[in-house]
Structure 1
């Protein structure tokens, strides 16, 4: 039976890793010329770095705020504290207890025991929240969504405020585009109906919760140790080079970002779009200078989601070729533009709602590249 010190050490060890790195998805890993550094830019502790085909996180410096996981366009950084599934479960039960209100609170304000913990969902920092959670609540009929902070202006990690505001603005603009009247609000204290009536009621529950949670963590840690040891003994595990090997179609491995899909599902559940276009950080559209394009296809090779792909369709006149573009699959990572050898491709954040919800991709007609002169014919005799 582990003693209290053992339990505390195990708990701290498990809590030291707040983010899982899905390195195969990181655009900086897929292509060293990728310009995306959003995770590095938002981290208040300079703990995350993506450069030279390497994505890394300093777990000693990481404070589990979740800001990097929110801005990553390819979901290469996956939050573990809490997991998306755990956060969804927590807010679902708290909405019922709060009479239909969805309230999120940062750990700082939660530690002051002003609110009833059964009526709100706690996150390490409000920077952990992203659009799929907020829009999902609105799509399920929640008409009050409130983010309660511990007065960000005096917080050590107040640099996250800009990111929190950006998430709120993004979520509200997407809901407005669907004609939804719900808006995400921010506050520095709990509303009256969330305030805790008797703080003493928390004492027994918190102590019982600590010890039961600690025992569970100790058990999980023992199981995890055996699992890791077993995996380390296995031979032939694929390397990163193997996992990023070209597919038969001539592209790097691709994937579907789950959060973006949940956002689209939520928007569809909110109704028919009332705006012709939206300016969003979640999706994108591309424009190609057709005269400058050499049809090299590098944009399709490196696109992580398959938003840009070579089409099997052929132009009726037989001249040139088609690319297929799907706005719903574009995560605005910018890797297509970074990989473009002719610098003739641009990614825009303004997206047509018709195109966003269109099941058919947009065809981009590329011209045949000019014939390259033979080497011998270019030599002067």
Structure 2
């Protein structure tokens, strides 16, 4: 069962933070069944990246903490995660907060959003306006669609797009609606966290933050007054068509499922992820992280400072407590923790190495460690994100290797503190 504690979330999107106790999480099969329900024309679910699918002891549910519509919801009474896919509005806030990119937003997806931003920058001479759908609906027909990037909610905006566009010389204006009264205001809170991270990063790279938030569309986005009247009508139709397509796609999926009696499933549930040759689950580094680091690299070397953001963490392993199981590396979603060497008894060198640049601060390693030997530092050195330097943690040989022919016999000798235990 998923437990809750009264702790303010770091995103300020809800009143509590999800705290899970070991042995209380859903089984992998149950979590697979839950998370796949989020899939829709708005969201693609990559289940093998979800921290809770990879290991039931992981501590996440960030998506439930920021969901703006109640699609992903924690039921306090039943103490369980509830997925109601028909409530999804396609805002993409859950995809912004997901550290492993298990959830991928569409309409627009990242590639489309970047291209639309570049189109807007060309049309305005360097200004990119990203606006929430509610505000644009109110201004339908008054702005040039080529000069504005529409998102359902500003919670869709994340650091890699902001940094990339600024590295290309653009100024960014984020236009919001009545967020204080909006029922989806969690997206606004997520945006504030993203902007705080962006400011921290650019300060470390000695760059100005060319992003401002506004309640009004910039004058540069205004539709030219000398254009024919029919373009205004055509634009209104285009906006209506986009809205209808977004809603129609979801309604069609659910209508078919209701008529046929089959549960809506936008994608097949994959078989359990196979373990690789080194005993770890497959790794995936989100494209957003690579895009962000590439954009930052264009600014040159950062100051030799430590930065505290939502994006990276530094893994610290207490080798005295460590049981040398290396489960942290086995379940690390990105490969920021990797095994080296093999335990071949006394004198062998083996352990785990950590590369902070690939860490997404999912905290999986910290939560699944059976010996509580891992802590995550919130701060990382900015230069370590590019240097390729790793921390190597050398581990002690395991007294009794598991899964061997004489494992039970050796364990009994260890437990009884004597070698006078025999097998037949």
Distance 1:349 1:269 in 2: 25
Counterpart for residue 179 of structure 1 = 206
Q: Is the CA contact (8 Å cut-off) linking 1:22 and 1:76 kept in structure 2?
A: yes
> Aligned to 1:244, what secondary structure does the other structure show?
coil
> Aligned to 2:393, what secondary structure does the other structure show?
strand
Equivalent of 1:117 in 133, 139, 145: 145
Distance 2:64 2:236 in 1: 35
Counterpart for residue 228 of structure 1 = none
Counterpart for residue 166 of structure 1 = 193
Distance 1:45 1:116 in 2: 29
> Aligned to 1:271, what secondary structure does the other structure show?
coil
Query: How many residues of Structure 1 are paired with residues of Structure 2 in the alignment?
Result: 348
Counterpart for residue 173 of structure 2 = 146
Counterpart for residue 368 of structure 2 = 339
Q: Is 1:31 the equivalent of 2:49?
A: no
Q: Is the CA contact (8 Å cut-off) linking 2:69 and 2:183 kept in structure 1?
A: no
Q: Is the CA contact (8 Å cut-off) linking 2:342 and 2:348 kept in structure 1?
A: no
Change (3 A) 1:205 1:156: same
Q: Is 1:207 the equivalent of 2:234?
A: no
Counterpart for residue 359 of structure 1 = 388
Q: Is the CA contact (8 Å cut-off) linking 1:95 and 1:120 kept in structure 2?
A: no
Distance 1:360 1:61 in 2: 44
Q: What TM-score does the superposition give when structure 1 sets the normalisation length?
A: 0.81
Distance 1:108 1:212 in 2: 13
Equivalent of 1:59 in 72, 85, 88: 85
Deviations 1:261-298 (CA, angstroms, capped at 9, x unpaired): 11111111122102421111111111111211111111
Distance 1:214 1:163 in 2: 26
Distance 1:212 1:294 in 2: 55
Distance 2:195 2:41 in 1: 27
Deviations 1:191-246 (CA, angstroms, capped at 9, x unpaired): 2222345495421344368679989x999x99xxxxxxxxxxxxxx9964x44121
Change (3 A) 1:239 1:39: closer
Deviations 1:137-191 (CA, angstroms, capped at 9, x unpaired): 011122x211010131222212322111001111121122111113321111122
How far residue 346 of structure 1 moved from its aligned partner, in angstroms, is 1.0
Deviations 1:355-374 (CA, angstroms, capped at 9, x unpaired): 21122432223344567752
Change (3 A) 1:188 1:210: closer
How far residue 50 of structure 1 moved from its aligned partner, in angstroms, is 9.1
Q: Is the CA contact (8 Å cut-off) linking 1:145 and 1:184 kept in structure 2?
A: yes
Q: Is the CA contact (8 Å cut-off) linking 1:28 and 1:34 kept in structure 2?
A: yes
Q: Is 1:279 the equivalent of 2:308?
A: yes
Distance 1:262 1:368 in 2: 39
Equivalent of 1:136 in 147, 157, 164: 164
Counterpart for residue 126 of structure 1 = 154
> Aligned to 2:316, what secondary structure does the other structure show?
strand
Long gaps (5+) in structure 2 = 1-38, 253-266, 401-410
Residues 1-381 of structure 1 aligned to structure 2 (within 5 Å): 17-48=41-72, 57-113=83-139, 114-142=142-170, 144-198=171-225, 200=229, 201-207=231-237, 240=270, 242-312=271-341, 318=347, 320-368=349-397, 374-378=414-418
Change (3 A) 1:55 1:361: farther
> Aligned to 2:375, what secondary structure does the other structure show?
strand
Distance 1:218 1:45 in 2: 18
> Aligned to 2:138, what secondary structure does the other structure show?
coil
Distance 2:283 2:367 in 1: 17
Change (3 A) 1:115 1:213: closer
Q: Is the CA contact (8 Å cut-off) linking 1:26 and 1:55 kept in structure 2?
A: no
Change (3 A) 1:28 1:344: same
